[in-house]
Structures are given as structure tokens and as C-alpha cells.
A and B are shown apart, each in its own frame.
Chain A
């Protein structure tokens, strides 16, 4: 009995191994594939139109691992998607649902397409019919056409009812035929008559009308009234589209094109900040920033660092003309005005910047400086610097703020007029706010350099490994040795000062994506990291190859 039991156990074991082994062998790639399939349909919640599968962000990685866990737990793709919908709403689905209100998104385009095609067909048929009728009319003899066109005159002066003369009778008959023709037209337009019947009946009435007209012509002539003279042959009028319709159509098309063009360019422009909406306040009447503003801003900053203030003023003015809500340009103008000794003007510029971005550190620093140095408003300055202290993360800039706060006297009078705040890393610094040097590739790795890769020069605050890079510069298809400079224009978050101690690394990236690392990427770092901003000859050798 025991042997039988053991035997069946062994058989069961062998069967299990046989059946399960192929499954186990296929488990990992299948799991990854299924995870990816589901992740492709989920929208990354911190990116713009990227799927969870494609996004390199930390959040997307965490979402992918949740998907993987749920796949492993045996949940169906629908259940997994439903889980994310329950947390983020249907927004999280890259493909909207085909049920409920979202089904409209699927149905409406096709409905519009069908309606459009039907409308186009209807118009084409109508136009071709009109043309046919016109061709038929023009093919008739000139005399009959003339008579018929006279007959088709829109308005007739009905003769007096008491008048029983032959002319009056003929005129009455003409009016009756005209009415009959109008009714026929109406019946045909409303679809009560076939085209063949319509044409036959129409010809019949027209020939009757022509006979009446000929009889009328045969009568002795009667002087025409001025009203009659004004009538034009109706055939021509009817076949011509009135001018106002053409103009209205053209104006509408022009306006529609303009609206579409403006809205499309608005929606596809790069956003300048987290709070920047798709329209860039277009709907509220303020001008959205364009690339020109950014270019002018960069030009201004460069001129500022070189202390070429007239050029900087011109550039910032240009930037503000293009984007009056550019807080950075206002703040820079403020600093230029401080340099020129216009405290009030500077204060206005900083206030303007702060009205746009209430927590903009550079403008807060500027305002605090003016209040302290120029206005001797110590309470006001203290308030501003304390506000700044709450926003700025620990580091060089923060220490500077603490130092200034300690210097501001608590009383109303100046403690020491000469102890004005030193130029802070928060304020746009002089031309020394750059790091420059040369990048070379180690001789052993030179053969591995792909000429089409991108080079990233990455600056991180020293000791702040967890945060995003402070500044990044991308150079496509670099040629070595390469001279580089890294400065304020390369910072990733607008308003963050390029200052303090910085760790510099470089990476030759095969896929050109700074956020991902892959085999074949080459890296290097400055051997004496960290380095102070302003340092020159920060030479880096690329000497590491990612396997």
C-alpha cells in the first residue's frame, strides 16, 4: 500500500515537472511582455502624453512594478487597468473606454465622417443635376430659349381682372403656367417627383409657355412699363451664386483657418512651467510666450553676465515685448536698475515679477535687497528674506540668506550702512557663474565612440545626489577634444541659480535620452569633484564604458 502511494506520488511529481517546466521556462519573458502590453495602455501621470511603458520617470517605474506584481498575482489586464482607473480616473487610460460617455469619443468621428460623406454626395448630385438641366436648356434653339427665358421671368404684372382683352387672357394664362412651373420645381426639390418626370413636365409647361409668349408677341405691341424693363432674364440670375455668399464663405474659411492655426500652435508649444496651461492664457487675453522670448532672455542673461548692460536691457525689453509675463526678465531688469541706482524702478520690476510668480527666489532676493539697502525698510526686508528661507533648499544660497538675515538690524535705523547683502548666488551673478573646460576620450575607448551619439554634461549640487540635476547640456555628435562651458542658461528649473559647489559628470549616450542608461554608454567625471562655480579648466576624461 505504502509502495503504491509512493509510486503515485512519484508519478504525480514527474507529471508536475513535465507540465510545469515549460511554463516556468516561459514565465519571465511572458511576464515582461504582458506587463509592457498593459503599461503601454496606461498614461504616465507625471509626463505629457507618454505611456507608463515608455516613460523613464521614477513614477512610471513604480507604476510598472505595480502592473508586474498584479500580473504575477493572476489579475487580468482589465482588472489591472480598472485598478489604475479607480485611483486616477479614466484620464489614466491612453485609449478611452468604449462604453458610457467615453464611447462618444469613438462614435463621433465616424458619425461625422459618414455625415460628411453623405453631405458631399448630396451636393455633388445636386450640382450635377443643375448642370444637366442647364446643358439641356442651352442645347435648345436660340429662339425657343429666348421665348422660354422671357417666360421664366420671375414677376409678372397680372392684368386687371375686369380686362377681357386677348392680351389680358394670355397674360393670365402665362401667370398660371408660371405658378404651375413653380409648384413643379417645389415637388421635384422635395423629392415627390422623379427626375425624368420633372424634366418631361417641365418641358411641357415651358413649351405651353412659349406658345403663349409667341401669341403675345403676335399681338400689337404695348409700351413697356419701367418696372418690366428692370427685370433681367432669370435663367442667368438663378445659375449665378450671389457675390455675398462667396465673400461670406471666404471670410468664414479664413477665420476658421486662422483659429485652427493659432490654437494648434498654442497647443503644441513647449510649456514654460508647471502652471502653464495649454493656451498660455490665450483665452484670457494675455499673450503667450514664444520661443523668441526665451532666445532674447538668454541673450540678455549672457549680456548681463558680461556686464554689457545696454545690450542686456535691449534683450530683456525684447523678451518682455514678446512675453510680458516673463518673471525672470522682470527680475533681471530689476537687478539692472539696482546697478543703475534706481531703487524705485527696481522695486517695481521685482513686484511685477512676484505678481507673476509669487515665490520666484531671484525676485524675492532682489526685493529684499532693495528694501534693505535702498529703502532701509528692515522689517520688510526681513519678511522677504524669511519667506525666501522657507523656499530655498539647504545649500550655499540658503547660508547666504541666513547671513543676510543676521545682518539686518531689528530696529528701524540702519545698523551698518556698508553691510549690504553681498551678491548672492540667487541674484544673477557676474560672468564667473560658469564652469568651463575640455572633454576628451580615453585612448582605450576611442575606438568605441559612435560619432552619432549625444554627449550630456551634467551638473549636480554637491551632496544632493537624490535631486534632479541642477543643469544639463546636450551636445549632439560631439567632436573630441571638446571645449565646453556650463552656466545659468543650462539650469533645468527656471529660477534656480547656477551656483555653489557642483559635481560635474559627462555621459556619451547611445539612445540620446539623458534619463536612461544602457550598455555602450560611456561616462567620465571631473577627478576633483565637487567644483566651485566659476572654475575654469575643469577637464574631464571619458574613461568608463557601461557593459
Chain B
């Protein structure tokens, strides 16, 4: 029966073509993080003012962790939003930490001055914190709940409203099912 042959051919070729088409629609460079809803790796970051912050010391508080660099345009784009969000939650049981990646100290300090950033910022000189958080594009933001669990991740520039809603969720230990995506720049 000719139609039977056609059906068999369609059944074999269809899924192969479908798989091929699906593969072509995906961005091969985008890395979906396996870290959502897992315990955040402890880290210690030396701030630009010389103080040190350890994640373990922040247990009981919701933490917003942001990786950035002064040479990254999307980081500049979100900087004012982050500071605005920080001004709104300052004083609550919430902490913002910025970590500069692959950047020169002078440029980082210039950046912080330019955008009048007041929340604590330090640098990841060895890149270890970045690898621990599976960072590959900046800016990247992580929200950590008071028990030290990652509740949300956002690759790319993030807006103040989203920061506020996600930090509220983190404070209540509500983990998101999916990470967010904005304008990002691959790190070097």
C-alpha cells in the first residue's frame, strides 16, 4: 500500500526533522543554571573599603548578589535601578552585595561613584565566586533566602521593580521555577 509506506517514511523522517528544527531554534550559548533552589555556595568577598563580608554571616537575611563590571553596558544600564531598589529595602532584613568581575579597581570605584552606589561592593579577583555561581554573562543577579538557598537568578540587566518583588519572595523563601533573562554581555 503506497500510503502505508508514506506514513512509515513520515514517521521516521518527521521526528528527525523536528529534532533538527528544535535544535536550530535554541541559543547554543545560553547556559541554563542548575543552581535554582539549591544551597548558595558560601563565599567571602573583600569590599572596596577593606571590610570583608561572608555569606554565612548573612544567614537570616534575604541577600541580593549582583555580578558586574564597569566595562559592561548592561551593568551601567541597571546600576541606577539597583541603587533605587536598595534605597527602598535598606533597613529591612535584606542585604545587597555587588561583586565586580574582571575589572580594574579604579574603574570599579569610578563606576560606584558615578552611579552613587551605596550598598556594599567588592571584587572577585580570582574568579572563584563567579565560577561557584555558574556565572557566564554579566550582569548576573542571584537572590538568596534567609536559609542560604538560591531562589531566583537573572542573567542581564534587571529593573528595580523585579529586584523588589524577587527579594520579597526570597525573604519568604519562595523559589522561582525559572531564571530571568535581560540584556546581557558575555564575560571575557
Which residues of B are interface residues toward A (Cβ below 8 A)? Answer: 2, 9, 13, 17, 20-21, 23-29, 31-35, 70-71, 73, 76-77, 79-80, 102-104, 107, 110, 114, 126-128, 130-134, 136-137, 183-188
- Determine whether the beta carbon of B183 is less than 8 Å from that of A359: yes
- Determine whether the beta carbon of A465 is less than 8 Å from that of B188: no
Q: Does A94 reach chain B (CB closer than 8 Å)?
A: no
- Determine whether the beta carbon of A394 is less than 8 Å from that of B110: yes
- Determine whether the beta carbon of A63 is less than 8 Å from that of B131: yes
Which residues of A are interface residues toward B (Cβ below 8 A)? Answer: 45-46, 48, 57-59, 62-63, 65-66, 84-89, 91-92, 245, 252, 256, 259, 263, 266-267, 274-275, 277-279, 282-283, 358-359, 390-394, 464-468
| Interface pairs A-B: 10 shortest CB-CB | A62-B127, A466-B104, A45-B136, A87-B134, A467-B71, A89-B34, A279-B24, A58-B188, A46-B186, A88-B134
From A85, A359, A468, contact of B188 by CB (8 A): A468
Q: How far is the CA of A66 from the CA of B41 in the complex (A)?
A: 15
Q: How far is the CA of A392 from the CA of B127 in the complex (A)?
A: 26
In the complex with contacts A89-B31, A466-B107, A266-B76 CB distance below 8 A: no
From A278, A391, A468, contact of B73 by CB (8 A): A391
CB contacts (< 8 Å) of B24 on chain A: these are 263, 266-267, 278-279, 282-283
Q: How far is the CA of A65 from the CA of B128 in the complex (A)?
A: 9
From A62, A89, A279, A359, contact of B131 by CB (8 A): A62
In the complex with contacts A58-B102, A66-B128, A263-B24, A89-B188 CB distance below 8 A: no
Q: How far is the CA of A278 from the CA of B31 in the complex (A)?
A: 14
B25 to chain A, nearest CB (A): 5
A93 to chain B, nearest CB (A): 12
- Determine whether the beta carbon of B126 is less than 8 Å from that of A62: yes
- Determine whether the beta carbon of B25 is less than 8 Å from that of A59: no
Q: How far is the CA of A260 from the CA of B133 in the complex (A)?
A: 38
Q: A46-B188, A391-B76 are in contact. List 5 more A-B contacts (CB 8 A).
A: A92-B31, A277-B27, A283-B24, A359-B77, A393-B73
In the complex with contacts A277-B27, A283-B21, A62-B2 CB distance below 8 A: no
Query: Which A residue sits closest to B41, measured CB to CB?
Result: A87
| 21 A-B pairs (CB sep. < 8 Å) | A46-B136, A62-B131, A63-B127, A66-B128, A84-B131, A85-B34, A87-B34, A87-B134, A88-B33, A89-B134, A245-B2, A259-B17, A263-B24, A274-B184, A278-B27, A283-B24, A283-B25, A358-B183, A390-B77, A466-B71, A468-B188
A451 to chain B, nearest CB (A): 32
Query: Which B residue sits closest to A89, measured CB to CB?
Result: B34
Query: Which A residue sits closest to B105, measured CB to CB?
Result: A466
From B25, B80, B103, B132, contact of A466 by CB (8 A): B103
Q: How far is the CA of A275 from the CA of B73 in the complex (A)?
A: 14
B39 to chain A, nearest CB (A): 11
CB contacts (< 8 Å) of A62 on chain B: these are 126-128, 130-131
CB contacts (< 8 Å) of A393 on chain B: these are 70-71, 73, 76
Q: How far is the CA of A325 from the CA of B31 in the complex (A)?
A: 26
- Determine whether the beta carbon of B80 is less than 8 Å from that of A390: yes
Query: Which B residue sits closest to A495, measured CB to CB?
Result: B73
Query: Which B residue sits closest to A262, measured CB to CB?
Result: B24
CB contacts (< 8 Å) of A46 on chain B: these are 136-137, 186-188
CB contacts (< 8 Å) of A394 on chain B: these are 110, 114
- Determine whether the beta carbon of A65 is less than 8 Å from that of B126: yes
In the complex with contacts A57-B188, A88-B31, A66-B131 CB distance below 8 A: yes
Q: How far is the CA of A393 from the CA of B107 in the complex (A)?
A: 10
- Determine whether the beta carbon of B71 is less than 8 Å from that of A468: yes
From B70, B73, B187, contact of A59 by CB (8 A): B187
